[in-house]
Chains A and B, each alone.
Chain A
């Protein structure tokens, strides 16, 4: 009962300064919303990337020439296939295409038609010359669908017509948005890739525990190559989406800085009115513990409300409202960018950490200056 009465008084104290309290609550809620949405979005995308790319090739071997990625001779596949533990080596042909009509970049990729039928393709993968399957981003940019024609300019500056046999469905947008899938030989001719050469080699390994060893053997036997393991892929995505990654860092740092300024401003001291209030409370019989409890409840009431409001808003923004604002920051210069509807993977530990890192400093910055005033003589405090 005693605590409820102190809470009642704390709320009354906050409402006596409605402008200041509302301003702090708004700024605090916005800060938590920004931080929470960054963390929720990056964690959801990171988890999705890790789950999806776990089925990618165990090892990708690139040829390097003068420090840059170069085409790799397909005969290298035999050398790698001879390494014990290697299940298969498949040459991959893929590349980028700048479409001057839509000013977008597409990723052109050769696919094995034997992989069809795939549930996530409306239609089918291309099987014959002059056919292709496209991602939803390409279909939207070129306003085409199944059975329409896609005209692309090849390496000889000649228009090549592909009939669209399939469009990747919305569930696969995160990894097929800008794809144009074409049969292998057609793509080789389109990019004018010499016979016997490939963009890189995808290596399947029997035992995942041997991937690093096989990568080391490939590097030893073929020094001009760069083996990229699946762990490297996953590590890259972890780094890209991590707290410290790219633009997210800028958002996080600026929000954290704003919060630090707010907390520091509060921690530097109480204003004259607040000091007088503490003096009067002590003069009418409140002890130091009660005053500290009052200030604790004032800080907690504001920060708890701000955190819950911020978290709920951030959750709705990221998982229900299509990531407004943050999605545009993430999009950058990309012309083709999938609609973001991340799967709601929530790391509760991360959220608990964020709650701790936002609520505790704010409560501390409310209690500490009050403690200084509460331990002084009431008469002296009221005269200041």
Chain B
């Protein structure tokens, strides 16, 4: 019976872990709705935002709902990008190693 006890113990442990994670997640989501969401919504209303700032790579991804009707993703919901480039080229990230700081002369006075 040793193996079955170990197995059932492991399953019970994982089940408890999954339940705790899910329960804590739901509590966190409820706390977010109560505390942070109202202020986030106030900002969305004040700036009249229409989209999430997730993808800034192209206008049809930055504002999926606002873009021209013939853009990719707008032909029909969930449409894939037309262009093979999207599948062939790996994304590249430009993170400059150096930066040039430019200040106005009166900046120090401020």
Contact = CB atoms under 8 A, between A and B. Distances in A.
Interface in A61-111: 62, 67-69, 90, 92, 96, 101-107, 109, 111
A125 B99 CA distance: 26
A311 B68 contact: no
Given A103-B94, A245-B78, A179 B39 contact: no
B14 A232 contact: no
A181 B99 contact: no
A339 B36 CA distance: 17
A147 B103 CA distance: 11
A119 B37 CA distance: 12
Contacts of A173: 53
Contacts of A90: 48
A99 B12 CA distance: 54
A175 B62 CA distance: 10
A237 B50 CA distance: 11
Contacts of A53: 44, 49-52
B27 to A, nearest CB: 9
B42 A344 contact: no
Contacts of B15: 308
A49 B52 contact: yes
Nearest to A168: B43
Interface stretch (A4-12, A254-262, A281-289): A4-12
A191 interface: no
A151 interface: yes
A65 to B, nearest CB: 11
B48 A308 contact: no
B78 A120 contact: no
A245 B64 CA distance: 13
A175 B51 contact: yes
Contacts of A335: 56-57, 93-94
A121 B29 CA distance: 22
Contacts, number: 232
Interface string B1-41: 10110011011001101100110111011001100110111
A102 B45 CA distance: 29
Nearest to A297: B4
A56 interface: yes
Nearest to A111: B47
A45 B110 CA distance: 41
Interface in A124-151: 125, 135, 137, 142-143, 147, 149, 151
B88 interface: no
Contacts of B3: 8, 11-12, 15
A76 B43 CA distance: 26
A60 interface: yes
Interface in B75-103: 77-78, 80, 91-94, 96, 99-103
B56 to A, nearest CB: 4
Nearest to B44: A55
B62 A54 contact: no
A172 B46 CA distance: 13
Contact of B59 (A92, A96, A239, A316): A96
A333 B102 contact: no
Given A11-B7, A107-B56, A301-B7, A333 B91 contact: yes
A43 to B, nearest CB: 11
A219 interface: no
A107 B4 contact: no
B47 A181 contact: yes
Contact of A338 (B10, B44, B54): B54
B73 A240 contact: yes
Contacts of A24: none
Contact of A143 (B78, B91, B101): B101
A272 interface: no
Contact of B57 (A15, A147, A172, A332): A332
Given A109-B47, A118-B42, A149-B107, A232 B21 contact: no
A101 B62 contact: no
Nearest to A7: B4
Contact of B78 (A12, A55, A244): A244
9 contacts: A175-B43, A305-B7, A308-B14, A315-B18, A328-B91, A334-B54, A344-B26, A344-B28, A345-B25
Given A53-B49, A177-B53, A305-B11, 8 more contacts: A67-B69, A104-B56, A118-B43, A149-B103, A171-B36, A200-B66, A236-B65, A346-B26
